[in-house]
Amino acid sequence: MEWMNAEQVLRRAETPLLWVGALTVVLLVLWLLYKLLSGFRIWIWGNGHLVSPKLGKWAVVTGATDGIGKSYAEELAHRGFAMMLISRSQHKLDDVAQCLKEQYKVETRTIAVDFGKTDIYQKIEAGLAGLEIGVLVNNVGVSYAYPEYFLNIPDLDNFITNMINVNITSVCQMTRLVLPRMSERSKGVILNISSAGGMYPLPLLTLYSSTKAFVDFFSRGLQEEYRRSGIIIQSVLPFFVATKMTRIKKPTLDKPTPERYVAAELATVGLQSQTNGYFPHAVMGWLTTKLVPINLVIFFGARMNRLQRTGYLNRKKIREQNNGSALKFD
């Protein structure tokens, strides 16, 4: 009798369960279709024409003489922006400005400052006065010479101050100088170059990772504040790019040239407020934040950085021994 009652209950539940299963499958298919269409929109179709001088005549790039910053300057000049280049070396600034002027026939200006200092922003403000700025790329940044334990970092006090000034203060202060006029005109783009290292803690690069996490949070919070004002503020989190900072000399599919990376990243502007900027990097970002437990990411990041630290210190020791031998021979 009890068996018959159970069978009746199952029969009554069969139809509702079938509907729940069918609805689940339909929702899953729709979700996958949405993700595929979104991926196509971002990584295939893109939004390449949004970043143009219609936003404003001038583009400002910090850290504009090397790597990703230089590639942003070249790409934006190619799109017709007049370029304001800001970096530390006047000599390098002059070289890049002259190349842009000759190759793309655009107006260029430069401001030479050390972003490790905090008394530079009055000079920058004077240099930006009166310019209709459509794009600001907060790219300037500094990392470790090699992975190291926090207390073992050489000249730790100055290291902390310099990294915070370059990686954090520069982003806040440059945004403070440029955002008001963008807000008045209800248009403009600010690209804050963070790092995939800011997506989760990176032991032995802890201070760098933390400063880049700040850039990401600052950008996303600010975007929510100003998104109704017609202004785009994007957090850009690249993985490895073949630049002088990363010491990668040979580009690969997952370690692109800065030119390739910048071209891909600019196509995501207006489509993602937080982006890895480049499709293989987006896949890596999804895997390391959605599928792999955070503790494993931290563990393997620490392991990789310990190996790099050991290799660097061994090479340094060999160089010092060789130099000592050469001095004795002389």
Name the phi and psi angles at 120, rounded to 5.
Answer: -100, -15
| Catalytic residue flag (residue 208) | yes
Of 208, 226, 261, 278, which residue is the catalytic one?
A: 208
Angle between helices 206-226 and 156-164 (to 10 degrees): 20
- Rounded to whole angstroms, how far apart are CA atoms 229 and 189? 11
Q: CB atoms < 10 A from the CB of 88, how many? A: 16
Q: Which residues have C-beta within 8 Å of that of residue 269, sequence separation ≥ 6?
A: 47, 50, 51, 189, 191, 232, 234
Chain centre distance of CA 231 = 18
Q: Which residues have C-beta within 8 Å of that of residue 212, sequence separation ≥ 6?
A: 141, 167, 194, 195, 197, 198, 237
Q: Are 163 and 210 in contact (CB under 8 A)?
A: no
Q: Which are the catalytic amino acids? A: 208
